[in-house]
Structure 1
Amino acid sequence: MSVDNPMTSYCLGDIVSLSQGLPINVKTKHLLVDKGLPLLRITDLINSMYSQFINTDEVPLKCVATEDEIIYTRTGQVGLVFRGVSGVVHNNCFKVIPNKDLVDPNYLYWFLSQSHIKEYANNIASGSVQKDLNHSAFKSIQIDLPPLDIQRKIYPILDSLSNKIALNRQINHTLEAMAQAIFKSWFVDFEPVKAKIAAIEAGEDAEGVTRAAMRAISGKTDEELDQLQAEQPENYTQLKTTAELFPAAMQDSDSGEIPEGWKVGKLGDIAGEKRKNVKIEDINPETPYFGLEHIPRKSISLSEWGYASEISSNKLIFEKGDILFGKIRPYFHKVGVAPIDGVCSTDIIVISPEENYYSFVLSIVSSEKFVEYATQTSEGTKMPRANWKTLMRYPVIIPDKLTSKRYNKIVFVFVNIIQKNIFECKNLSQLRDTLLPKLLSGELSVDAAKLAEEEG
């Protein structure tokens, strides 16, 4: 930092106050309701999924966080920092309330997000089995602050990189939802088939029957399809070809009525378990490693992983494109597509679908219904485990190969975009984490950081 913009040293206790979260115990459990403000426990904050709610009328206001406030985790997983969420802060966290005359809240967020600050917080936390960071310890952490005008020039650079990461993740989430919506329409509700049947019953000719399926597949009206044909004839032809793949009748089966030409089978008919064990001494330390902790809940996008240098036991080999299914406590819904080759925990089932049914299998094993089946059939009480010999018996209605291949083609586009975004997020995260300490320490100027951001 230049002489014109000197740093001023503080303890955090000089520039912030803390507000403890709400303990849920015998005295407060009556506050839990079906609808209200979400309870922000650490696991909820990490997964952005909320399952418990607090009575809005009775909750102490000091425990309520708004989106512009900072939440810091103090028990168990010490040193995680969150903002942009609203709800009731749980007792394993506290709110960090800055003196805005001295520190900008966004600058403070980035200061607390630094890896060495998290490491230091864990070192000064008490407890061996479960870490606990008390208020006094947190307030003792040292911080060097530049003037407010400099703080307000620094944090937008870091925010910009994080916003790009968040946008990519939102795109991935949208693509996953689109794939599941198509799967449900085609292979669960049989909408294109039923549309054809209804058109036949209404006396439509062959072209009208195909048009009905095209409407069901695309969600477009006849007028919109006419416009598509005029303006994008190749896309129109592709849609028509897809519609023609679906049968125009249903047939009886042991599972009820299914599309004509399709069959009732089991997951094991179109997918297998890939179980390639590898000894720890035979693994290159730089090999990417996936543990259950790297697989997010309810998302096939695997954007975080470790390396074999961190592991100490034998693992399983997987290849790019394999499906990784977390078998410990399957209700956590941890299923993803491997974006790279690597090794994984033996608590993960590596699923290898038949080529023509890849996307079909992916959509099945990442569905809520399949995860429920895995949970119901898992073995053990404290640590229930799913196993492939049971999962492979999961009943499925198997479409013909041409229809499945068409679904493959659509979902492959989605998966390729998802994986491209994963690596872009990885690069952006590395750039942000490199710039973060240098910007906050004054080692790197704002102008140089902006140039690095543009080049990144």
Structure 2
Amino acid sequence: MSSEFQEVIFDEFIELASEKVPVESLTLETYISTENMIPNKGGIEVASSLPNSKTVNKFVKGDTLFSNIRTYFEKVHFADFSGGASPDVLIFRTKSAQKLLPEYLYYIASNKDFIDFTVRTSKGAKMPRGDKGAIQGHKLLLPPLSTQQRISDILRTLDKKITLNRQINQTLEAMAQAMFKSWFVDFEPVKAKMQALENSGTEDDANLAAMQAISGKTADQLATLKTQHPDQYQQLHHTASLFPSAMQDSELGEIPAGWEVKSLDTMAHYQNGLALQKFRPEDENDFLPVVKIAQLKKGFTDGEEKASPNINPSCIIDDGDVVFSWSGTLVVDSWCGGKAALNQHLFKVTSDDHPKWFYYYFTKHHLDEFQRIAQAKAVTMGHIKREHLKKALCAVPDSDLIAHLGQTIKPLLDKAVAVRLENRTLTELRDTLLPKLLSGELQISTEDVA
């Protein structure tokens, strides 16, 4: 430890803020509870509802919010706005910014040493909560203000890049889902063709209308594209020509003429995971981390459980694989947490007939209905059955059209996976540096900071 670091008591420099704010003054965007805090220091989501109480604890910009339920989920957030928080979210506030920077306080609360301390001293078995008294008596190492600033700057640079990548991913996902819904659920290119023909247009007019529906461009913008990028224009023209200009009746309702109806379970293979407590590693140095629903939600393995690497290969997942939790919390995701063993209650989704993006977005398309079915079950762990996969119908065009549309959607999904893998690397770097910087083991100088 560097000599400039001094051991201090948490309560000497940090207060647990308890000032109240009326709930009626809050919005879904300014209310934070443990439910809308994202694990692994992943930030926050918009709240789904406001509490029934008249008041909640008030936080201000610069406070650190710390979820005090099951603190091993590492739900820690640096407030960049003022609002209100539920009682199970502790509000850490520096008593003097001249002695402890708010940004540095956030990294103290994010440090694994502090998280582990709160886990060890938690009370309660079913829903363990951090012990406020123990937290207030926790010992910290505190460097001078200038060192706090340099350390915060280094870690904040990594956090900003991680946050930017998350925003990029959200944009990519929204774009891909909007395209998929337009083409395969709402059939907008087909309807655009039909409307053009109903208005006495020619086949060329119908194709142009479909091109607009596919690309989101106006006729003038397409004319410019034709002049400046003729190859792109011709590719779009050919893709539009593959859409039919009529609808047909089906068990799904009206679908584009020539398309067929398939159920999810015939379009893709949903491989259930294993009861991995029966497949422990033969060698403690040769194992696969286990992915359960909790790890899928977090997006990474945490080493809580290990499995033999010699399990059925169809129950091993790796980066980019589609995973669907069909019990408890229903989630569909592209796994980006590295090679792992898949536990029961999770499907690994694959297909020999259709590309990954196609069955991924069709599974996501049916997720709302699956969640409704699971929530309706009067059991602790709501779930769906394979019969529900059979009842989930999809309108499927020929392989030629799927291949052409894949040239647009597949790169978005590939980019999203690549960005998440970059974030995994950045997160590992941040979490490696964090305890070393805060303990003084890794010393920095002014020259270390750009």
TM-score normalised per structure 2: 0.86
Give a deviation string over 1:124-170, Cα, whole Å, max 9, x none.
Answer: 33334443334322111112222112211210110111111111122
Secondary structure of 1:366 counterpart: helix
The aligned amino acid for 1:175 is L
Between stretches 266-275 and 148-157, larger displacement belongs to 266-275
Which residue, 10, 14, 17 being the options, matches 1:16? 14
1:226 aligns with 2:223: yes
Which residue, 78, 81, 85 being the options, matches 1:83? 78
1:388 is displaced (CA, Å) by: 2.2
Q: Give the direction of change, closer, same or farther, for the CA distance of 1:342–1:394 in structure 2 (3 Å limit).
A: same
Between stretches 110-119 and 336-345, larger displacement belongs to 336-345
The 5-angstrom pairing of residues 118-137 of structure 1 reads 118-137=115-134
Say if 2:65 and 2:79, in contact at 8 Å, map to a contact too: no
The aligned amino acid for 2:68 is R
1:2 is displaced (CA, Å) by: 6.1
Taking only the aligned residue pairs, the percentage that are identical comes to: 28
1:350 is displaced (CA, Å) by: 2.1
1:44 is displaced (CA, Å) by: 1.3
The aligned amino acid for 2:36 is D
Which residue, 137, 142, 152 being the options, matches 1:145? 142
Q: Give the direction of change, closer, same or farther, for the CA distance of 1:33–1:161 in structure 2 (3 Å limit).
A: closer
Secondary structure of 2:17 counterpart: strand
The 5-angstrom pairing of residues 20-169 of structure 1 reads 20=18, 38-46=30-38, 48-54=45-51, 59=55, 63-77=57-71, 80-84=75-79, 86-98=82-94, 99-169=96-166
Corresponding position of 1:376:
373
Q: Give the direction of change, closer, same or farther, for the CA distance of 1:2–1:374 in structure 2 (3 Å limit).
A: closer
1:271 is displaced (CA, Å) by: 1.3
1:43 is displaced (CA, Å) by: 2.1
The 5-angstrom pairing of residues 159-308 of structure 1 reads 159-275=156-272, 277=274, 280-281=279-280, 285-296=286-297, 303-307=299-303
1:232 is displaced (CA, Å) by: 2.0
Corresponding position of 1:399:
397
The aligned amino acid for 1:304 is F
The aligned amino acid for 1:347 is H
Give a deviation string over 1:229-252, Cα, whole Å, max 9, x none.
Answer: 222222222211211111111122
Give a deviation string over 1:47-68, Cα, whole Å, max 9, x none.
Answer: 6241121589x535xx122342
Corresponding position of 2:41:
none
The 5-angstrom pairing of residues 303-382 of structure 1 reads 303-307=299-303, 310=306, 317-320=315-318, 321-329=320-328, 332-339=329-336, 340-367=338-365, 369-376=366-373, 381-382=379-380
Which residue, 415, 420, 423 being the options, matches 1:422? 420
1:311 is displaced (CA, Å) by: 5.3
CA distance in 2, matches of 1:281, 1:137: 36
1:182 is displaced (CA, Å) by: 0.5
Q: Give the direction of change, closer, same or farther, for the CA distance of 1:318–1:123 in structure 2 (3 Å limit).
A: closer
1:38 is displaced (CA, Å) by: 4.9
Instruction: Return 5+ residue gaps in structure 2 as ranges.
Output: 39-43
Q: Give the direction of change, closer, same or farther, for the CA distance of 1:319–1:93 in structure 2 (3 Å limit).
A: closer
Between stretches 119-128 and 168-177, larger displacement belongs to 119-128
1:375 is displaced (CA, Å) by: 3.5
Say if 2:6 and 2:142, in contact at 8 Å, map to a contact too: yes
Between stretches 389-398 and 158-167, larger displacement belongs to 389-398
Secondary structure of 1:356 counterpart: coil
CA distance in 2, matches of 1:212, 1:283: 62
TM-score normalised per structure 1: 0.85
Q: Give the direction of change, closer, same or farther, for the CA distance of 1:308–1:151 in structure 2 (3 Å limit).
A: closer
Say if 1:317 and 1:344, in contact at 8 Å, map to a contact too: yes
1:109 is displaced (CA, Å) by: 0.7
CA distance in 1, matches of 2:145, 2:167: 32
CA distance in 2, matches of 1:33, 1:436: 36
Say if 1:435 and 1:449, in contact at 8 Å, map to a contact too: no
Say if 1:214 and 1:240, in contact at 8 Å, map to a contact too: yes
Q: Give the direction of change, closer, same or farther, for the CA distance of 1:444–1:374 in structure 2 (3 Å limit).
A: closer
Instruction: Return 5+ residue gaps in structure 1 as ranges.
Output: 297-301
CA distance in 1, matches of 2:292, 2:273: 16
Secondary structure of 1:53 counterpart: coil
1:357 is displaced (CA, Å) by: 4.8
Q: Give the direction of change, closer, same or farther, for the CA distance of 1:414–1:450 in structure 2 (3 Å limit).
A: farther
1:308 is displaced (CA, Å) by: 8.2
Say if 1:107 and 1:152, in contact at 8 Å, map to a contact too: yes
CA distance in 2, matches of 1:234, 1:415: 23
Pairwise CA RMSD of aligned residues? 3.2
Give a deviation string over 1:184-208, Cα, whole Å, max 9, x none.
Answer: 1101111101111111122333322
